[in-house]
Amino acid sequence: MPDPTAALYVRLPHPEFAKLDRAAEALATNKKALVTTLVSHYVDPDSAEGLDHLRAIASAPMPAPGAADRKFTIELPEDRMSVGHHAFTPAPLPDVLTPQQAAELLQVPEDEVVELAEAGTLPGRRIGDRWRFSRPALIAWLAGG
């Protein structure tokens, strides 16, 4: 049976993310259920009225930072469980990095990492025709140690 869900990855401004997080915690639900409920109740792209409502919301000015929060109530369907718990343990970070991973760690372009390694400035080892970097060595190098 195919998965009845689809992935949605969005980056929210910190204040809105914090609001969503607080709402999910206060309602003892997860953000997925909360967003699903909001979309099902407030997003109607199949009618002119629904699109006009969305246009009005999208064109409304964002409140200034520090402005009083608006409060609203969200009613979840009674036929679904609204209490849950989720926890995860992130995967451990690798100790051996590719040039791309080293560039992400140092927040610089990959070609700069390779250039610094080839010049002997950045700690790394060439294995065959590929560069590899030690995460602890890069952090120590960055710290000036």
Task: Identify the pLDDT of residue 133.
Answer: 96
The one-digit pLDDT tens for each residue of the chain (145 residues) are 677 888 878 888 888 888 888 888 888 888 888 888 888 878 888 988 888 888 887 777 766 555 555 555 666 666 665 555 556 677 888 999 999 999 999 999 999 999 999 999 999 999 999 999 999 999 999 998 6
Query: Phi/psi at 61 (nearest 5 deg)?
Result: -65, 145
Task: Identify the pLDDT of residue 135.
Answer: 94
User: Is the full-model pTM beyond 0.85?
Assistant: no
Query: Phi/psi at 79 (nearest 5 deg)?
Result: -85, 5
Torsion from C-alpha of 21, 27, 30, 36, nearest 10 degrees: -100
Q: What is the CA radius of gyration of the chain?
A: 24
Q: How many helices (H) and strands (E) does the chain have?
A: 6, 3
Task: Identify the pLDDT of residue 4.
Answer: 81
Task: Identify the pLDDT of residue 139.
Answer: 93
Q: Where are the domains of the chain?
A: 10-80, 96-143
What is the C-alpha to C-alpha distance for residues 8 and 12, in angstroms, rounded to an integer? 12
Task: Identify the pLDDT of residue 26.
Answer: 82
Task: Identify the pLDDT of residue 76.
Answer: 63
- Please enumerate in sequence order all residues whose Cβ is within 8 A of that of 94, keeping only pairs 6 or more positions apart, or say none: 101, 135
